Structure 1
C-alpha cells in the first residue's frame, strides 16, 4: 500500500525514501513557508536613505490639525447626498473613544438600497472635499441576508426552510475604526503590496518636494459580529450607531487586512454568516497567537492522521488471521464508526473531518494489545491537538466534553497496552543466548525472546581435551530433544552434551567454568573434529 522508493547512489550506499518521509518533508516546508510569511507581516523593511532609497514619511510627523467626519449616503460617489452623522473637530489619533449616535434611515433603505458610511480624515475647519490631503474610506451600514435565527441552525429541514424565507435587512450598529499611529518610514519602491490600496502618497514642500503618506485608515470588520446586527423593516425610522476608535500597529494592520480578505473569500466559497462569525471570534477574542496555531494545528493534525492510517493499513495487510483480536469488538467499532460518518455526512460537515472519519470506518483497529505503538501515538497526538484547539477557540460544551472523553480513552489505551505488554512479557519464553563462550557467566550476559516455532531453551556444551565451548540459544523442543538423544561423551569426557528446558531463563546453568585460549574457542571447528573422529 505504501511502497518505498529506493535509488542507489554511485558510491554504492543505498538511500531509502518512504512516503512518511515525503509527507513529513512537505509538512516542514509548509510550516517554514508559513512562518516566513508571518515574519514578513511582523517585520516590514524600513527605508534606508543612506543607500539612496526614495523614502516616504508619515503625514502625521508634521502634526497637522485633523478632523474626523462620518457621513451617511446611499451613493458614496454623490457628495450632494451626504448626511453628517458624527464629527470630532480636534481629532487626536492617540486618544481612543466610543460614541453613540442616532441615525435616521432614509426612505431609500426601505426600498432595499444599501446605506453606506463615508469616513473622512481631513484638515480641521474645512469640508473634506475641499482638502486635497483628506483620507476617505467607505463601509456598508445595511446588508441583506437570511434570518439569523435560521443561520444558526444546521439541520437539513431548517436549511430548506431558510431557502423559502425572504432576505432580511440588517443594520450594523457598530462602526469600528483604526488608524496606524507608528511613524514608520517606507521605501517608495518597497511599499508592501497589501498596503498600497490603503495608502495615499502626496508631495509636500515648495522647494524640496517631500513624499508623505496620509494616515492609514482601517474599518475593523473582524470585530463586526452577528450580535451587533439589528433587524430593520419599513416601520423602522431611527437606529443606534456606536462609533469606536482605537490605534493599531503596522504589524497588526497588515495581518488584519489579510485575515479580512480571507474571510471575504470564504464568503464567496459558500461559508455561512454563522461560520464566518465563529472564525472572527477565534481571532478577535483570543489574540494573534491563534493565527499561528490555526495554521500549524491543522497541518500537524492532518499529517498525524495520514501516518496513523498508513500504519493501520500496514498492520492489517500483514495479518493472516484475527488471533488476539475480538471479532465482536472489531465489527461493533466498525459499525459505530460508519454511523458517525453517515451522521457527519448528513450534517454536511467539513471534508477535513469527513475524510479521516470515512477512512477510519474502513480500517479501524480495536485490539489495544495488537495495535502498533506508532499508530497509537499518532492518534493520541491528534487527541491532544484537538484539546488545545478546542480550548483556544469558542466551542460548544459537548465538543469539549468529547475531547475530554477521547483523553480518558487514550489513557485507558495506554494502561491496557501496558498490561498487555506485561502479560506478554511474563508469558513469552526467554532464554540466555551466546555464540561460543568459555564460561557460563559469559553466556548469561545476553538473552533473547523466543519466537514461534521455538518453544525451548537449548544448551550445548562441547569438550575436546582441554578445549571447551558453550552455546545457548532458542530452539524447537522436538529438535532439541532429538539432538540431545544422539549427543554423546566418551569415558574421557570428550564429546557433546545437549540439555533442553521450557521455562523462562531456565538455561542459566549450562556448564562449569573452564579455561582456554579464546582463539581456540571456535565451536564449529570442535564439532567438525568430533564428526571426523566418529567416522574414523
Structure 2
C-alpha cells in the first residue's frame, strides 16, 4: 500500500498525556471495537443459521405453502467470473451524480464544462487472482469550481473482461462483461476546530466568552486511493454477511441456481480506507485548487477484506458516537502500525505490558503499605499534600483540553487524586467545623490521628525544614516561568493560562516534590519507613519509561518528565545502601528478615 501523507503535529492535549496510558487506552479501545464488530456480525446478523420450527400438519389437510426462494436474498453466492480471467480496469474521475460517465449529458455537459482535465485511464491485462499484480499511477488534480464549493468528486471504476468496453455506445460493450463501482473521493466530514488563543496582555485581549462552534461539514481530500480486488473469494454466505461487507458484494440480478438459494456475484472491488488518518485529510476550498493523488491497485484476500471492512466501519462508528477523543486514539493506533517497524512494535507492546504490570504491583504494594501503617515516622505529609495538588492540576489541564482527551485518561487521573487524598486521611483527621464571626462560616479542622511520638515530631520538623529549602528554588522558578508564559505565549483565557502554566511547571520541576522525602531520610538516617516493594516496582517502571523516552516521539517536556525521577531514585538507592536496615528489626508488616529474631509480639521499645 502506498504511504499516506505525513501526519500533522499532534494535538497539545495528546502531547502532554502519559505515553503508556495513551498507547494502552488506544489499543484497548481498538480491540473492544473489533470484538464488538465480530460479535455483532455473528449474532445480530447471523439469521441464516436459525433452524425453522417444524409445523405439524393435521391428517387430511393440504400441505403448507412454502416460501419461494426467488423472493428472498440468496443464502449463498458464488463468483460469476472465474479466477485467471484477464481483466481491464477503467477509472474515470467525474462530478456526475449518477455515474453515467458515457452518456451525452456527461460527455457534452459535465465533461466539457467542469470535468475537463480530470484523470481517465485504463489498467489493462490484469489477471483475476494473481497476487503479484500491482499498479500505481499519480496525478495532480485540478478541482472543478463546484468541488471547491463543497461539491462532490467521484471515481467511477469499471472492471471489464473479454476486451469489453464500458461505453454503451461502443460496439464492444457487453453488460454481462462489465462491473461498475463508485467511490466518493471528497467525503464530507466536520471541519477541524481551531483553538482560539490570544496574548492576554494585549489591549484587545478581552474576556469574551468562548462560543461553542457548531460542526461545519466540508468536503475533504485524501492523497491516496487504494483499489483492492478480492482475489480468492469462493462461495460466500451472502445471507449472513454483516452490512460492512455486504455493501461491497454485488449480485447479478435474476441469476440463481436451480434451487434458487444460490446467487452469483461479480468481483469485489474494495476501496481500502483503513489506513486513512483524520490528520491526512485536507479541506477543499479556494486555497487548494490543485492537490496530488496516488492511485494504487493491489490484490487482497477475502480474510483481509473482512478485517479491514469491519474495522473501518467500527472505527468510524466509534468516532461518530464517542466524539473526537475516540477518533484521535484510534488514529494513533493506525499511525503506530503505519510508521513503526514491526519488530519494534512488538517490543513496544511487550514493554508496555511490563510497564502496566509494574504499575499495578506498585499500586497494590503502596495501598497495602498505607492500610497497615499506624505511625507517620519518616513520612512527609507535605509531600502527600503536594501530590494531591499536582494530580488535581493535571486533571484540570486534561479537562481544559478535553477535545482530544479520552474518558479513560480522565478516569485514571481522577483516581490518582482520590488515592493521594486518601493517604492524607491516614495521617490526620480532617473535618469541617463552624467558624462564627468569620467571612467564611466554615473552616477545615486538621488534627493528628494520635499523640505524636518523638520520632514523629522530628519528622514534622524535618518536613517543614525540607519544604522551606525546596521553596527557595521552586517559587522563583514558578514566578519566572509564569511571567515568561504571560508575555511570550498565547492562551485561550486566564483560566487556561493558570492551568497550563502550572501543568508545564509540574512537568519540568515535578521531581522537586520528591526532594523533601530524601531530606527526611537524611535527617533520620533511615529508610525503613519507605514502602520497599512499591519503590522497587516504581524503579522498574521508571526504567521502562526511560527506554521509551529514547524510542518514541514525544515533546521535550514529557521526555524530561521521564528522566526527572531517575535522579531521585538514584539518591534513594544510595540512601538505601548507606542506611542499611537491621535484619533483626521488625518492620511495619510484623516481618523479620533474620532467623531467630523476636517477632512483633516480642518486640520491645528498645528493639524498635
TM-score (norm 2): 0.51
Q: Does 1:72 align with 2:94?
A: yes
Q: What is the DSSP-based 3-state SS (H/G/I as helix, E as strand, rest coil) of the residue aligned with 1:319?
A: coil
Q: Alignment partner for residue 272 of structure 2, among 189, 209, 220? A: 220
Match runs of 1:261-340 below 5 Å = 261-268=313-320, 269-271=322-324, 277-286=331-340, 308-340=362-394
Distance in 1, matches of 2:580 and 2:328, equals: 52
Match runs of 1:353-392 below 5 Å = 353-364=409-420, 369-372=528-531, 375-376=534-535, 379=538
Maintained 8 Å contact 1:175/1:244:
yes
2:597 aligns to what?
A: 449
1:47 aligns to what?
A: none
Q: Does 1:256 align with 2:308?
A: yes
Distance in 2, matches of 1:388 and 1:262, equals: 33
Match runs of 1:90-129 below 5 Å = 90-92=124-126, 94-123=132-161, 124-127=163-166
Kindly tell me: are residues 288 and 256 of structure 1, through their superposed partners in 2, closer, same or farther at Cα, counting changes over 3 Å?
A: farther
Q: Does 1:350 align with 2:393?
A: no
Kindly tell me: are residues 232 and 200 of structure 1, through their superposed partners in 2, closer, same or farther at Cα, counting changes over 3 Å?
A: closer
1:8 aligns to what?
A: none
Distance in 2, matches of 1:415 and 1:424, equals: 13
Q: Alignment partner for residue 402 of structure 1, among 550, 561, 565? A: 561
Q: Does 1:198 align with 2:243?
A: no
Q: Which moved more, 1:121-130 or 1:295-304?
A: 295-304
Distance in 2, matches of 1:192 and 1:155, equals: 56
Distance in 2, matches of 1:289 and 1:159, equals: 49
Distance in 1, matches of 2:581 and 2:140, equals: 77
Q: Alignment partner for residue 63 of structure 1, among 69, 73, 85? A: 85
Distance in 2, matches of 1:140 and 1:287, equals: 30
Distance in 1, matches of 2:393 and 2:274, equals: 37
Q: What is the DSSP-based 3-state SS (H/G/I as helix, E as strand, rest coil) of the residue aligned with 2:86?
A: coil
Kindly tell me: are residues 76 and 249 of structure 1, through their superposed partners in 2, closer, same or farther at Cα, counting changes over 3 Å?
A: same
Maintained 8 Å contact 1:86/1:101:
no
Larger Rg: 1
Maintained 8 Å contact 2:257/2:263:
no
Q: Does 1:242 align with 2:298?
A: no
Q: Which has the larger strand fraction?
A: 1
Q: Deviations over 1:326-385 (max 9, x none)?
A: 234333333333333333333223332232233323434776754545544665666567
Q: Deviations over 1:479-526 (max 9, x none)?
A: xxxxxxxxxxxxxxxxxxxxxxx89xxxxxxxxxxxxxxxxxxxxxxx
1:325 offset after TM fit, Å?
1.4
1:472 aligns to what?
A: none
1:102 offset after TM fit, Å?
4.1
Distance in 2, matches of 1:400 and 1:160, equals: 32
Distance in 2, matches of 1:35 and 1:373, equals: 40
Maintained 8 Å contact 1:128/1:134:
no
Distance in 2, matches of 1:401 and 1:282, equals: 22
Kindly tell me: are residues 125 and 352 of structure 1, through their superposed partners in 2, closer, same or farther at Cα, counting changes over 3 Å?
A: same
Q: What is the DSSP-based 3-state SS (H/G/I as helix, E as strand, rest coil) of the residue aligned with 2:297?
A: strand
1:126 offset after TM fit, Å?
1.4
Kindly tell me: are residues 241 and 36 of structure 1, through their superposed partners in 2, closer, same or farther at Cα, counting changes over 3 Å?
A: closer
2:175 aligns to what?
A: 131
1:127 offset after TM fit, Å?
0.9
2:580 aligns to what?
A: 423
- List alignment gaps of at least 5 residues for structure 2: 1-27, 40-74, 112-117, 169-173, 201-206, 424-513, 518-526, 588-593
Distance in 1, matches of 2:196 and 2:310, equals: 26
Q: Deviations over 1:300-348 (max 9, x none)?
A: 8778766654544443332232123123433333333333333333322
- List alignment gaps of at least 5 residues for structure 1: 1-29, 42-52, 431-445, 456-474, 478-501, 504-536
Q: Which has the higher contact order (CA 8 A, sep 6+)?
A: 2
Q: What is the DSSP-based 3-state SS (H/G/I as helix, E as strand, rest coil) of the residue aligned with 1:323?
A: coil
Q: Which moved more, 1:200-209 or 1:315-324?
A: 200-209
What value does the CA root-mean-square deviation take over the aligned residues?
5.4
Maintained 8 Å contact 1:68/1:121:
yes
Q: Deviations over 1:199-245 (max 9, x none)?
A: 33559899999965533322232333466545543476554432223
Maintained 8 Å contact 1:282/1:394:
no
Distance in 1, matches of 2:367 and 2:553, equals: 35
Distance in 2, matches of 1:131 and 1:180, equals: 21
